[in-house]
């Protein structure tokens, strides 16, 4: 699993944690603004748990955790929010294509975002269960006791999470560390649009030539 630098920097990724209670429109709007502004700074969307603070949780944080657990229908939030993450990523990619200036198209098409997908296990990534940790520990102790008595095998519970990196440029290091790469979507321009662009460029070139001619005559006079 590739390690991502969370520190702010000119080329370090910006991370967005996808939750069950967040607003998709807000995430999409921020993502589009970020990707348009920073050509070399990727955007990372993930379902990892929120970082633990050293201070006691506030009422708002506790309410958020409860809302995530209820919305997840019993699943851990890191797993329950994966479908939502995928939906947000697809919306961002589609809307990003719409923001591209058709005048930048060279061969009748516009290239979208590079996508890198990573799926992992919370325990292997160094995260501990936060919600219901007491009950989880009790279940492990009971399973271990049954296994020692020869009744059954200890069941290993894995909690998955997903992380998606979107970037305007390729990031070979992510693919080298096991991330699944998806090439950019392409927005095709029909013949009518390309014809209008050619006429627009010709008109702009003609206007520029007239301006240069007038400037030259004025300086010569």
Indicate whether 8 belongs to any domain: no
- Is the same domain home to 53 and 91? yes
Q: In a 10 Å sphere around its CB, with 0-12 CB exposed, 13-18 middle and 19+ buried, how is residue 7 labelled? A: exposed
Indicate whether 114 belongs to any domain: yes
Q: What are the tokens at 64? A: 């958020």
Give the pLDDT confidence of 154-213 residue by residue, as tens digits: 555 788 999 999 999 999 999 999 999 999 877 666 677 667 666 766 777 777 776 766
Model pLDDT, residue 192: 73
Indicate whether 78 belongs to any domain: yes
3-state DSSP assignment of residue 36? helix
Q: Once rounded to an integer, what is the mean pLDDT over residues 55-60?
A: 46
| Buried-exposed string 31-44: b where 16+ CB fall within 10 A, e elsewhere | bbebbeebeebbbb
Q: What percentage of the chain exceeds 90 in pLDDT?
A: 39
Give the pLDDT confidence of 34-46 residue by residue, as tens digits: 999 999 999 999 9
Residue 198's domain comprises 190-221
Model pLDDT, residue 128: 66
Q: Is the pLDDT of residue 65 over 70?
A: no
**Higher-confidence residue: 85 or 101?**
85
Indicate whether 138 belongs to any domain: no
- Is the same domain home to 67 and 120? yes
- Is the same domain home to 124 and 73? yes
Model pLDDT, residue 60: 45
3-state DSSP assignment of residue 32? helix
Indicate whether 135 belongs to any domain: no
Indicate whether 51 belongs to any domain: yes
- Is the same domain home to 92 and 200? no
- Is the same domain home to 64 and 111? yes
């Amino acid at each position: 699993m590739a390690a991502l630098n969370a520190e702010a920097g000119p080329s370090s990724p910006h991370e967005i944690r996808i939750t069950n209670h967040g607003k998709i429109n807000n995430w999409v709007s921020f993502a589009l603004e970020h990707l348009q502004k920073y050509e070399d700074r990727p955007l990372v969307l993930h379902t990892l748990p929120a970082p633990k603070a050293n201070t006691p949780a506030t009422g708002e944080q506790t309410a958020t955790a409860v809302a995530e657990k209820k919305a997840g229908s019993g699943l851990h939030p890191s797993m329950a929010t994966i479908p939502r993450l995928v939906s947000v990523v697809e919306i961002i990619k589609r809307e990003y294509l719409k923001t591209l200036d058709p005048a930048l198209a060279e061969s009748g098409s516009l290239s979208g975002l590079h996508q890198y997908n990573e799926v992992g296990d919370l325990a292997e990534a160094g995260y501990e269960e936060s919600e219901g940790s007491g009950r989880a520990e009790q279940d492990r102790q009971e399973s271990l006791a049954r296994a020692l008595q020869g009744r059954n095998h200890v069941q290993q519970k894995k909690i998955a999470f997903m992380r998606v990196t979107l970037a305007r440029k390729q990031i070979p290091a992510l693919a080298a560390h096991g991330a699944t790469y998806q090439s950019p979507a392409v927005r095709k321009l029909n013949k009518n649009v390309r014809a209008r662009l050619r006429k627009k460029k010709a008109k702009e070139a003609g206007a520029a030539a007239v301006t240069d001619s007038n400037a030259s005559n004025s300086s010569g006079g």
